[in-house]
Amino acid sequence: MIGRLNHVALAVPDLAAAVTLYRDTLGADVSAPQALPEHGVTVVFIDVGNTKIELLEPLGEGSTIRPFLEKNPSGGMHHVCYEVDDIIAARDRLTASGARVLGDGQPRIGAHGKPVLFLHPKDFMGALIELEQV
């Protein structure tokens, strides 16, 4: 059902500092920041050839990653994103097997302009999973 790894997301307390670190220290090509108010984050992507690294910074007081950063003030790995061909079929198969989809269970448009869903970390050994339809 899952396809290739689309990206690994890192929550960061200071996006500008993280961009400087990745761009200037690691020599990465970093995308322009993209505000996603419906997700409560500002993101940048770093293409590393075989996948991407997503850097997430909270956007607004209701940001879903703010509690993560309160527990992990230096930041850290937030989620992994896998590609799926049909997000509705994937959701239905997962919920039929007992997995929980976060939110209302309906896909939302993600940073790449494609439908995404998040799966409850307690159902996946503590890892927050994002599915993105390709």
The CATH homologous superfamily for domain 5-133 is 2,3-Dihydroxybiphenyl 1,2-Dioxygenase, domain 1 (3.10.180.10)
CA torsion through residues 64, 66, 67, 71, sign: positive
Q: What is the pLDDT along the chain (134 residues), one digit of tens a residue?
A: 999 999 999 999 999 999 999 999 999 999 999 999 999 999 999 999 999 999 999 999 899 899 999 999 999 999 999 999 999 999 999 999 999 999 999 999 999 999 999 999 999 999 999 999 99
| 47 touches 86 (CB < 8 A) | no
How far does Cα 124 stand from its chain's mean position? 15
Tell me phi and psi for residue 70, to 5 degrees. Answer: -65, -35
In the chain, where the domains are located? 5-133
Q: Which residues does the annotation mark as catalytic?
A: 130
